[in-house]
Amino acid sequence: MAHEGEQVVWLDEVAAEDIGAVGGKNASLGELLANLGDAGVEVPPGFATTVEAYWAYVEANELAPVMQEQLGALERGERQLADVGRALRAAFTAGTWPEAAEAAIRDAYAELARRQGVDEASVAVRSSATAEDLPDASFAGQQETFLNVSGADALLDAARRCYASLFTDRAIEYRRARDFDHFKVGLSVGVQAMVRADLGSAGVIFTLDPETGFDRVVVIDAVWGLGESLVQGSVDPDAYQVYKPLLDDPERVPIIDSKCGSKEAKLVYGERGIVRVETTAAERSAFVLDEADVLTLARWACAIEEHYGRPMDIEWARDGETGRLYVVQARPETVQSRQKAGQFSVHRLTEKGHRLTRGTSVGTRIVSGRVCRLDSPRDVGLFAEGAVLVTASTDPDWGPILKRAAAIVTDHGGRTSHAAIVARELGLPAVVGCGDATRTLRDGQEVTVSCAEGDTGFVYEGALTYEEEEIHLEELPETRTRVMLNLANPAAAFQWWRLPADGVGLARMEFVVNDHVRIHPMALVRFDELEDEEAKARIAAMTSAYEDKKTYFVEQLAQGLARIAAVLHPRPVIVRMSDFKTNEYANLIGGTAFEPEEENPMLGFRGASRYYAPAYREGFALECQAIKRLRERMGFANVIVMIPFCRTVAEAQQVLEVMAEHGLERGRDGLEVYMMCEIPANVVLAEEFAPHFDGFSIGSNDLTQLTLGVDRDAGNLAALFDEQDPAVRWMIRTAIEGAHAAGIKVGLCGQAPSDHPDFAAFLVELGIDSMSVTPDSFVSVKQHVAAAEAQRRGASQG
């Protein structure tokens, strides 16, 4: 704790309650140093000037009257913001240090060097304001940081410039917008031993998903070189996600997402300060962090979050000379942690449009507006209120423009770039890291920015129609019948974590392969045999971070499914093995070489018949390896496997044998295997199929198609495709009765309960165990099921 009259205090002597003495940033660093060492969290040592030293500097240089004059003129409209900021910064940098403060800083710097065993320490000099890093205000990038500062004179100069940065245009405007009194905000300067991230790497950690608020993941971004490139949004980083509840098990590796960013450049120290240099081909293709690094940072983040008792926003760095990882800053997360837990809004596009560009999605909203392309924040006069800002990247100088924008679209940056951070705080949708937005989008063009489709955000041509729904979860009733979710897109899964669903009744593997993996598994198994040079080049580029190309498929598929499994863990998640048709498989990269052309793919080489066939058996082996990795190595034992389109009992036996060969033996380690009940033969022979499975899931779409002989995709027969047809209802009733007679569970995963309340009542009357529906219809189906159960109870009591 800092005492009255102290000009300097060591960071390990301050704590979180000392914000008034050393500012938010330094108080947090002191709290980490003093309390997180036992958890293994490494924090660079250092000291801080006190806020008392700041006010002594202001008094010694008679700066208070200057502040009053300049800021008063700004409030009265007599002077412009830029002129006021320039005058105040000049006054602060021209000041001289009071004798006591200068001596204290020089002595502390010498002591820090002695502790490091060097004559002249290299240090990071950071601003820490008393109104900074608060639970309800991020003050992102408002004050300056100076890195790789050497020598006492240089340190004193950097500290003076930190004081001046309290009056950058953006800092002044930020305080004015939030009614912070300029004369009640003091500044401390933190001085830490320099972590040579310029020779190593750096990044940012959130202890929840910053887009959806999903609080059971740690999100990590990583770049080569200094972390400032992340804030600038000038580099597309590596991105990792770790599932918190499984982190304590040393046998598990719960990394549920790892994306290798392009990382085209890095920031390093040059002779004249920080410079941007291109990364090498090896750096661009390699992951910045290995598994052990990711798990270490995730565990540190969880320890920090537990200590503070709230979600946190953390900066980390790796020293390239020593290889050691450090936490260099920790502050409260200020957006998602303030959201109300019991309600959320869902945005949905109600029409399709032409996609102009795509990038990383920030937020979950949709807006339409006209494009305003800007190269510099100096062009603020050209920006129209409510326009869609399109630019290469943003930094804190863009603040006044961002506050007037309807949405933000950038060429560069990831989820922790400046544009992303500010977009969340302002509640704006943003699509960042598009790569080509400034080339593709025309000034004045009307567009729709959609961040409601998962991790990937899209910019569409024109003003598309969309709807918004407010959902109040506390009003949902309890039901005996389990109501589960159909999920397919790992990128969108986290949107639905607040829904009180009973699990995932259908996770479609082929959707994950199509959107997340994108490469045909056999093209990876037989890569050297590929004759399509274009496909071969694309595969080589996509798998460059993997020594074995097959590992790419296994890891990416396992991680994609893990994101779905994590949403409702430990509740059951039923993963259907791949059910592409041959024409759909052929659309995967490298797929045309391995798929036959069929007249009727819907009734062709699909589902169970592929899994033991020589043409795909090695591909199915990779699917099994992904499930094994998901359940055993990552720890998602809540995953149930489901076999689609199983035509005969003999085929069921054959598939189970092949699965067992690849380590997925039914019953071993609690593995349950379900069957899709979607072919009339499955219904007719339900009691013969049942001994080989732990449950059935009725696929009402295919069952309707095959019962009525109607192609569900044939527009001219659409009126005949009816899941409520008496013949289809007979099939469903018979399947449920057959499953229950055999003593196994049965559910339904189809659209009918979503579309027809009376169909949900029909299923309840038959005593079905579960229904699995699309997330956007979950609330209405839950209500229909509750009403049907109440009516059934009333009838039995009457």
Return the sign of the alpha-carbon dihedral for residues 135, 139, 140, 145.
negative
Phi, psi at 463, each rounded to 5°: -95, 100
CA dihedral (425, 426, 428, 432) in degrees, to 10, reads -50
- Among the listed residues 347, 412, 418, 740, the single catalytic one is 418
- Among the listed residues 260, 569, 749, 784, the single catalytic one is 749
Angstrom distance (rounded) from CA 591 to CA 597: 12
Q: What is the residue-wise DSSP string for 369-397?
A: EEEEE-S-GGGGGGPPTT-EEEES---GG
Question: Do the Cβ atoms of 748 and 763 come closer than 8 Å?
Answer: yes
Angstrom distance (rounded) from CA 584 to CA 119: 66
Characterize the bridge pairing of strands 430-432 and 407-410.
parallel
- Residue 663 per-residue DSSP state: T
* Residue where the block lists tokens 């700066």: 63
- Residue 196 per-residue DSSP state: -
Angstrom distance (rounded) from CA 88 to CA 79: 13
Angstrom distance (rounded) from CA 17 to CA 37: 19
Strand partners, 348: 467
Angstrom distance (rounded) from CA 688 to CA 43: 63
Q: In what order do the strands lie in the sheet with 8-10?
A: 8-10, 46-49, 187-193, 122-129, 145-150
- Residue 208 per-residue DSSP state: S
**Residues with Cβ within 8 Å of residue 309, at least 6 apart in sequence:** none
In Å, what is the CA distance from 782 to each residue of 322, 763, 779?
A: 56, 13, 5
Nearest 5 degrees, angle CA 103-CA 105-CA 109?
A: 120
| 569 labelled catalytic | no
Angstrom distance (rounded) from CA 281 to CA 289: 16
Angstrom distance (rounded) from CA 764 to CA 512: 31
Nearest alpha-carbon partner for 451 in 754, 210, 235: 210
Q: Mapping DSSP to helix (H, G, I), strand (E, B) and coil, where does residue 274 land? A: strand
Q: Computed over its alpha carbons, how large is the radius of gyration of the chain?
A: 30
Question: Do the Cβ atoms of 151 and 44 come closer than 8 Å?
Answer: no
* Strand ranges, E, within 637-749: 639-643, 673-677, 695-698, 745-749
Our separate counts of H helices and E strands in the chain read: 29, 30
Q: Mapping DSSP to helix (H, G, I), strand (E, B) and coil, where does residue 106 land? A: helix
* Residue where the block lists tokens 């790892």: 258
| 749 labelled catalytic | yes
Residues that are catalytic: 418, 749
